[in-house]
Amino acid sequence: MFALVDCNNFFVSCERAFQPELEGRPVVVLSNNDGCVVARSNESKAMGIKMGTPFFQVKPLVEQGKLAVRSSNYTLYGDLSARVMSVLAAFAPRLERYSIDEAFMIMDGVDEAALPGLCSELIVKVRRWTGIPVSIGIAPTKTLAKVANHFAKRYKGYRGVCLIDNAEKIRKALALTPIGEVWGIGWRGAPKLASEGVDTALRFVEKPEAWVRSRMGVVGVRTWAELQGQVTIESDRDEKRKSICTSRSFADMISDFDELAFRVSDFAGKCAEKLRKEGTAASSVGVFLHTNRFREDLAQYYPNASVRLDVPASSTPEIVGAALKAMRLIYRPEYAYKRAGVIVTDIVEADAIQPSLFDFDWSERGREDEISKVMDRVNVAGKNVLRLATQRPGHYSDGIRHDFGSRLFTTDWTQLLEIR
pLDDT digits (tens, 9 = 90+) for 152-202: 999 999 999 999 999 999 999 999 999 999 998 988 889 999 999 999 999
Q: Which stretch of DSSP H or E encloses residue 139?
A: strand 134-139
Residue type at position 97? R
Contact 147, 182 (CB under 8 A): yes
Q: For the chain, report the end-to-end CA distance as a whole number of angstroms.
A: 47
pLDDT mean across residues, the chain? 88
Predicted confidence at residue 395, as pLDDT, reads 40
Predicted TM-score (pTM) of the model is: 0.74
Domain boundaries, the chain: 8-73, 77-226, 244-378
Cα–Cα distance measured from residue 355 to residue 99, given in angstroms and rounded to the nearest whole number: 34
Q: Which stretch of DSSP H or E encloses residue 9?
A: none
> In this predicted model, what pLDDT tens digit does every residue of 241-299 receive, in sequence order?
778 998 888 878 999 999 999 999 989 988 998 898 888 999 999 999 999 988 889 99
Return the SS3 of 335: coil
Q: Name residues of the chain where pLDDT drops below 50.
A: 360, 395-397
CATH superfamily label, 244-378: DNA polymerase, Y-family, little finger domain (3.30.1490.100)
Q: Phi, psi at residue 416, to the nearest 5°?
A: -65, 160
Q: What is the dihedral of CA 260, 266, 270, 276, to 10 degrees?
A: 120
Contact 399, 34 (CB under 8 A): no
Nearest of 334, 344, 323 to residue 390 by alpha carbon: 323
Strands 280-291 and 37-40, sheet pairing: unpaired
Which residue intervals of 227-315 are DSSP H helices? 257-277
- Domain 8-73 belongs to what architecture? 3-Layer(aba) Sandwich (3.40)
Q: Which stretch of DSSP H or E encloses residue 72?
A: none
Predicted confidence at residue 390, as pLDDT, reads 66
Contact 239, 106 (CB under 8 A): no
> In this predicted model, what pLDDT tens digit does every residue of 165-176 receive, in sequence order?
999 999 999 999
Cα–Cα distance measured from residue 214 to residue 204, given in angstroms and rounded to the nearest whole number: 13
Cα–Cα distance measured from residue 112 to residue 90, given in angstroms and rounded to the nearest whole number: 18
Cα–Cα distance measured from residue 392 to residue 260, given in angstroms and rounded to the nearest whole number: 11
Q: What share of the chain is helix, strand, coil (3-state, %, to 5)?
A: 45, 20, 35
| Yes or no: domain 77-226 corresponds to CATH 3.30.70.270 | yes
